[in-house]
A and B are shown apart, each in its own frame.
Chain A
């Protein structure tokens, strides 16, 4: 481009700002589209294999739920409230670049790049039951490492009583967030000792590959002894706080969804029973519902966290 003198430029050549900005956006979009064709996609990285994880670190007798059900039957209201909506709409979620801000009452706050998280601790395969509050359940072979591995590296201070999790808020990528079905961004939380429990998983994959978008890519938490909504997805922030976090479902319906929400067949949801559950993907059409287990079958590992608590009051 030949540099011209300022006086050479006629006023008519100077684009009006609105036109200038629109043109720039257009060029950006065109380049992004073109780049998308040439470069590895930022979108929908499902299918990418995870290497180097230890298999079967936690395994159970229950049969794993078929992969197509795990990725096709989801509650992820950020992408719509139908069970099939997340699989249909989560393709537009960009999982790279991705960072998780870890902050709050800790000595070593840090912004972790997702690639750093993938290398933070040895990856393990953990096959967990997941029980949804609606009354269905799955068995999923997750891949990740104990959340405690991250927690000990950031060194919580004496003021840290709870851990708060924040999901991405971006209505352009998450169309369900355009409606106030829940308060966005999705907030979840655990007591610090719950977060430190060996079962609590910082999860990066399932079924041998990275997390599909509809399952909470690229990083989520899995808390197998609580109802599924307490396993937040697509995390962007982990805060260590003094006050109990005001979680999304507790805020939406405090009489129905408590902070703890431990799986408990003896404490019904106000509108339906929690005594039984439908295991998704079981062979045969006419299969009975199964009895729900206390703490989703993880009582041995977590019951001590709630010793002496009235679980009907602190549901």
Chain B
């Protein structure tokens, strides 16, 4: 489709909007009384959002038959890594001021930080192997196997959010429900396909004229 490059460019700039909004807010003192907490939280939720958008590409592709979405998936996944990386940087720099001892203690002792840190670490090989060259080097089968880690990353991200919230779990619950839907779709789709394949293999051979 001839609009594809424009769609990708437009999506790139749209995906930068959350960051732009934060920068603008920070410069105009529009982030409330606790701007560092706001920034860290906002970067985290956008990271999770982009992760879910990335995970919705396959279900949308299967439902609409529009393969063009596949072109956007790598960029969306990298934006997820981008925002999660900034979220991590915000925590390490502005929340902890590079106090590595305190940070390590947090990672070891606070379950929500343990799972958050692990999720970030798991994203790194996925980001590193996102290039065409890497896909060739790994080969399709290995590449796909590695990138299935994104399911665990999605679960990790939701758990991280759920376990840090003080009392009102509305937001994490919404993310969890969407994630469950996106993963559940794949399970149902695979099961439906397997059943169909099984039926086909029992079908009688086509009649010869």
**Chain A residues at the B interface, C-beta cutoff of 8 Å:** 68-69, 72-73, 77, 81, 83-84, 134, 136, 181-182, 252-253, 268, 271-273, 275, 278, 280-281, 285-286, 288-289
Contact = CB atoms under 8 A, between A and B. Distances in A.
A285 B97 CA distance: 13
B35 A285 contact: yes
A83 B111 contact: no
B118 interface: no
A73 B95 contact: no
* Interface SS of chain A: loop
A72 B32 contact: yes
B59 to A, nearest CB: 31
B164 A271 contact: yes
* Interface SS of chain B: helix
Given A72-B32, A273-B106, A278-B34, 4 more contacts: A72-B33, A271-B111, A273-B105, A288-B97
Interface in B152-209: 163-164, 166-168, 170
A84 B164 contact: no
Q: Which of B33, B34, B106, B168 has the most CB of A within 10 A?
A: B33
B168 A81 contact: yes
Contacts of B109: 268, 273
B112 A136 contact: no
A181 B167 contact: yes
Contact of B168 (A181, A253, A288): A181
Contacts of A72: 32-33
Interface of B: 26, 32-37, 94-95, 97, 102, 105-106, 109-112, 163-164, 166-168, 170
B39 to A, nearest CB: 10
B26 A285 contact: yes
23 contacts: A69-B33, A72-B32, A73-B32, A73-B33, A81-B168, A81-B170, A83-B32, A83-B33, A83-B34, A134-B166, A181-B167, A182-B167, A253-B167, A271-B110, A271-B164, A273-B106, A273-B109, A273-B110, A275-B102, A278-B36, A278-B37, A289-B95, A289-B97
A272 B113 CA distance: 9
A285 B105 CA distance: 25
A84 B166 contact: no
Contacts of A136: 34, 37
A272 B110 contact: yes
B141 to A, nearest CB: 40
B46 to A, nearest CB: 18
Among all A-B residue pairs, the 8 with the closest Cβ atoms: A73-B33, A69-B33, A81-B168, A280-B33, A288-B97, A181-B168, A136-B34, A280-B34
Contacts of A275: 102
Contact of B167 (A83, A252, A268): A252
B37 A84 contact: no
A280 B38 CA distance: 12
Contact of B33 (A81, A281, A288): A281
Contact of A286 (B33, B94, B106, B167): B94
A289 B112 CA distance: 20
Given A252-B167, A278-B37, A84 B110 contact: no
Contacts of A181: 167-168
Nearest to A281: B33
Contacts of B34: 73, 83, 136, 278, 280
B106 A81 contact: no
